[in-house]
Amino acid sequence: MRAQNNSLRDLSRRQAAAVLLTIAGAAVALRARFLSVPLERDEGEYAYFGQLILQGGIPYRDAYNMKPPGVYYAHAAVLWFLGENPVAVRVGATIAALVAVYGLYRLARRWYSRRASLAASATLAVLSASTSVLGFASKAEHFVLAFALPALWLVQPWERATSVLRACVAGILLGISAAMKPSGAAFALALVGARWRAVSTPRLPAHLGRLAAFVLGCALPWFVVGAGFWWAGAAEKMWFWTITYARHYATDIPFAQGLVLAGTSLGRAIVSAPLVWLAATGGWLWIVRHDRADRRSPLLWFLASSVVAVVLGWRFSEHYFLLLLPAVALGVAKLADTVQWSWKWFWLVLVLLIGSAALFEQWRLYGRSPTEVARLVYGRNPFPEAVEIGRYLLEHSKPEDRVAVIGSEPEIYFYARRRAATGFVYTYPLMELHPFARAMQQQMQREIESARPRFLVLVHVPTSWSRRSESVVDILEWSARYANTHYRPVGLVEIPEVGESRYTWNEAALFRYPETDCFLSVFERKE
């Protein structure tokens, strides 16, 4: 049942729609300034895989990573529809974020008034665009929420309105959500956990029928994916990367280190919008202490599923906490639905809470160029430099030429519009402590030697490798020998600690030596 606040009348449907459109417009405006910020490596990965798919390539066969294929095909669809350019990547993320905002509004209406549900939507719209959670970038979490929240809305009134077809459609959406990133599967807890008592009711057959339809719906996208990759002859490689290797990846971070990472990333998110997080905490405390059990249970299970979604993988990168933001927004909505506001005070407090977060974000970025924004958010990661390197490769190569980037900068391939000479678009797996590391390095060497790429890019940036003291370093020694033997330097990009990067191209690169510890070297194959 939905809470009704007797101190003021709720908004009409038309009024709510108008406010929702205003929220969507504000969300677009918040994200617009990030359209020209250089892509980061996750976005470069998704964009390159999408580009590869449009060229007839197959993930896991032609390019390797442990993520499920959903996010790659989502980006392929975005690039097909909007064009193969960086702006399209960010616009695609914006569309996914807006779908999630609307999905949360519909889900919140299961429990709250329209004005409180709008407060939830506004909260998610602002927080999910924040640099503190890297929300302006095209992250897989946006696509997870874009499918998971509508799925939960479809089946939330399980005991009275959910048909078998509706349950099946919800399952399909949740299955697609998990195909974007495995953490999407955690949101099934919000349904199954809250409705487990249904098995003891007299309507057991109806409940089991809906549950069966839901489970079959969840499985259907994965059946289609498995059949498709089996037909393409890439099922074995898909299994290795998404299951075998992913299992080692998920257990790579020690427990204590994970706690530190969680505290750091969560702290950044809270500091960026402390009033919102304080209000959300108050709302959730009210839910726990005062809500009836039938209302409290689905909300708490949703919170639990959100926490599990963040915890899966135990890495706690900033963008993982995007999955917690709908729960934060529902806490704010509860506060908005509970306190006996007048309309004037309701809107004033709402603008103060959410507007302060948006203004803080804009103040941090005011007057900064796209390159300066990238430096502020990502430090000395070579994301602005990848744009120039990609442009150079595009202008000095033919469409059929191959490029090898020895480092974890797949965005270079996307900018250059050139196929990689190796499936290893990241070198992180080569530095990790698992039994496949040395074999992966040897495979990368063989692929590059066989492809004889026109250009070679050596990345000397620590964050592009995450090398450890115990890492196998054969690939580093081999790449230096290979470049010196078969290639000539045509570019050097130096990234100083302070100031603008220095670019040296063509003949001048022969006589230039790096003066910084972070640099990228570009080589062209000798005739």
pLDDT in tens, 338-371: 876 655 666 666 777 777 777 777 788 888 999 9
Crossing angle (nearest 10°) for helices 274-290 and 293-311 = 140
Q: How far is CA 313 from the centre of its chain?
A: 14
Backbone angles phi, psi at 39, to 5 degrees: -65, 145
More confident site: 2 or 524: 524
Residue 104 CB partners (closer than 8 Å, separation 6+): 117, 120, 121, 124, 149, 326, 329, 330
pLDDT in tens, 2-61: 544 445 577 888 999 999 999 999 999 999 989 999 999 999 999 999 999 999 999 999
Quote the percentage of the chain above a pLDDT of 70. 93
User: What count of Cα atoms within 13 Å lies in the side-chain half-sphere of residue 293?
Assistant: 2
Encoding tokens for residue 356? 């302060």
Average pLDDT over residues 298-317: 93
Average pLDDT over residues 460-485: 96
The mean-pLDDT minimum among 5-9, 352-356, 475-479, 518-522 falls in: 5-9
**Number of Cβ atoms within 10 Å of the Cβ of 432:** 20
Q: Which helix (H) or strand (E) holds 457?
A: strand 455-460
pLDDT attached to residue 355: 75
- For the chain, the structural domain boundaries read 13-365, 379-525
Closest CA to 217 of 156, 176, 162: 176
Q: Is the pLDDT of residue 390 over 80?
A: yes
pLDDT attached to residue 6: 42
Give me the amino acid identity at 36: S
- 224 forms bridges with which residues in the sheet? none
pLDDT attached to residue 366: 83
Burial label for 138, CB within 10 Å (0-12, 13-18, 19+), is buried
- 523 forms bridges with which residues in the sheet? 456, 489
Q: What is the DSSP string of 346-415?
A: HHHHHHHHHHHHHHHHHHHHTT--HHHHHHHHHTT-SHHHHHHHHHHHHHTS-TT-EEEEESS-THHHHH
Reported confidence tier of residue 259, pLDDT bands at 50, 70, 90: very high
Residues 418, 453: Cα–Cα separation, whole Å: 10
pLDDT attached to residue 319: 96
pLDDT in tens, 196-223: 655 555 566 667 788 888 999 999 999 9
pLDDT attached to residue 190: 84
pLDDT attached to residue 358: 77
Whole-model pTM: value is 0.93
Q: Tally DSSP H helices, then E strands, for the chain.
A: 22, 6
Backbone angles phi, psi at 405, to 5 degrees: -105, 115
| Structural Rg of the chain based on CA atoms | 25
The mean-pLDDT minimum among 210-214, 326-330, 400-404, 412-416 falls in: 210-214
Burial label for 380, CB within 10 Å (0-12, 13-18, 19+), is middle
SS3 percent helix, strand, coil of the chain, rounded to 5, is 65, 5, 30
pLDDT attached to residue 210: 81
Closest CA to 424 of 445, 450, 438, 454: 445
Residues 500, 489: Cα–Cα separation, whole Å: 22
Write the secondary structure of 68-82 as one string of H (helix), E (strand) and C (coil).
CCHHHHHHHHHHHHH
pLDDT attached to residue 251: 86
Closest CA to 111 of 211, 190, 167: 190
Cα–Cα distances (Å) from 183 to 177, 302, 375, in that order, read 8, 13, 29
* pLDDT averaged over every residue in the chain: 91
pLDDT attached to residue 440: 98
**Number of Cβ atoms within 10 Å of the Cβ of 35:** 15
Residues 146, 140: Cα–Cα separation, whole Å: 10
Tell me which residue has tokens 């003021």.
8
Residue pair 170/154 in contact by the 8 Å Cβ criterion: yes
pLDDT in tens, 124-167: 999 999 999 999 999 999 999 999 999 999 887 655 556 888 88
pLDDT in tens, 227-242: 999 999 999 999 999 9
pLDDT attached to residue 223: 96
pLDDT attached to residue 4: 46
Q: Which residues of 228-260 are buried (b: 16+ CB within 10 A; e: fewer)?
A: ebeeeebbebbeebbeebbebbeebbeeeebee
Overall residue count recorded for the chain in this entry: 527
Encoding tokens for residue 41? 């490596």
Reported confidence tier of residue 267, pLDDT bands at 50, 70, 90: very high
Q: Is the pLDDT of residue 179 over 90?
A: yes
Give me the amino acid identity at 381: N
Tell me which residue has tokens 């442990």.
66
CA angle 83, 88, 89 (to 5 degrees): 125
Q: Is the dihedral of CA 414, 416, 417, 421 positive or negative?
A: negative
Q: Which helix (H) or strand (E) holds 503?
A: strand 502-505
pLDDT in tens, 92-112: 999 999 999 999 999 999 999
Residues 238, 220: Cα–Cα separation, whole Å: 17
Average pLDDT over residues 280-305: 90
Reported confidence tier of residue 393, pLDDT bands at 50, 70, 90: very high
